[in-house]
Copies of this chain bind each other. A is one copy, B any other.
Amino acid sequence: MSLDKTKSDGTVGKALEILDLVASFGRPVRFSDVLDVAEFPKATVYRFIQTLTSQGMLSYDPDRQTYALGIRLVRLAHSAWQQSSLAPVAHPHIEKLARDVGETVHLAQLDHAQVLYVDKIDPGKPIEMFSQAGKVGPAYCTGVGKAMMAYLEAPHLAEVIGQQSFHVFTEFTLSDETALRAELVDIRSNGYGFDREEHEPDIICVALPILTARGRVLGALSVTSSTQRTSLAALEALVPRIQMAVTAIANEAESWRFPDQSKFQSIETAKG
């Protein structure tokens, strides 16, 4: 049926496609905005938007007649973040790490073929929020992305690599699969990798993968700085300290069990 590889999981998949579409605008949109970029007929897009709005996945601003992503997503993301075996467990560790090394620390996971930052601590500006967590970036030219890819199983890796754009951001960007694969072998043999101004000029980082005992990739941790402030060699010197945090996180993440709370709050709470 679906000619392309877009394995649209039925109706639900299509609805989520609309949701992503709205997200991709990065601003509230008019019905026709969505219609223009959607590949479904008018009535279909209309009904999906209606459904999503009624479900709180989209919100409608009657004054401006625009749709935006709904707050139900914020609620769900709160749960997602909490439920994740990685982020809540890692938070105290990366906070401490950030203070110790005095540089920005990122915690990332792989979301399809992209890097998704699930936490960030910048010792400089203490208060950050959703503005940082939830951000996505390219995998092939970030420290965390490469660190994670280096430890993927061959078939999964192939899939992920296939989805990289290899857009050239700087003169140091790895611009093809061959270069990337070579780099990954390197990272794997060292246990850590760098971002050598591959994504943004002057920005460099060291990154380590976070793995389960069985070797499955949970995420990655990076310490980021700039060429003005420090050097790759100096960052490399931090590896043992970062490794400490990584090990602690990996151990805790694996042994972590949720407290036995059989009496949970149902979502129908408000109905009582």
C-alpha spacing A68/B79, complex, angstroms: 9
B79 near A77 with CB under 8 A, answer no
A69 near B75 with CB under 8 A, answer no
User: How many copies of this kind of chain does the complex include?
Assistant: 2
Q: Which residue of B lies closest to A258 (CB)?
A: B27
User: 5 other contacts beyond A3-B271, A13-B55, A68-B84, with CB at 8 A cut-off?
Assistant: A20-B267, A21-B267, A23-B83, A59-B84, A73-B80
Flag whether A151 is at the interface (Cβ < 8 A).
no
The 4 A-B pairs with the shortest beta carbon distances in the complex, nearest first, are A78-B134, A165-B272, A77-B77, A27-B258
Interface set, chain A 50-89, CB cutoff 8 A to B: 50-52, 54-57, 59, 61-63, 68-85, 87-88
Interface set, chain A 177-230, CB cutoff 8 A to B: 212, 214, 216
B265 near A130 with CB under 8 A, answer no
C-alpha spacing A80/B167, complex, angstroms: 27
Flag whether A93 is at the interface (Cβ < 8 A).
no
A24 near B73 with CB under 8 A, answer no
Q: Which secondary structure characterizes the binding site on chain A?
A: mixed
A61 near B85 with CB under 8 A, answer yes
Interface set of A (CB-CB < 8 Å, partner B): 3, 5, 7, 9-13, 15-16, 19-21, 23-28, 48, 50-52, 54-57, 59, 61-63, 68-85, 87-88, 91, 95, 109, 111-114, 116, 118-119, 121, 126-131, 133-136, 138-139, 163-167, 212, 214, 216, 254, 258-259, 261, 264-267, 269-272
Q: Which residue of B lies closest to A126 (CB)?
A: B126
A130 near B133 with CB under 8 A, answer yes
- Report the minimum CB–CB distance from A125 to chain B (whole Å): 10
Q: Which residue of B lies closest to A3 (CB)?
A: B271
Known: A51-B9, A71-B118, A76-B69. A261 touches B85 (CB 8 A): no
Which residues of B are found within 8 Å of A216, using beta-carbon distances? Answer: 62-63
A79's partner among B23, B79, B111 (CB-CB below 8 A) is B23
A136's partner among B75, B136, B166 (CB-CB below 8 A) is B75
Which residues of B are found within 8 Å of A82, using beta-carbon distances? Answer: 26, 130-131
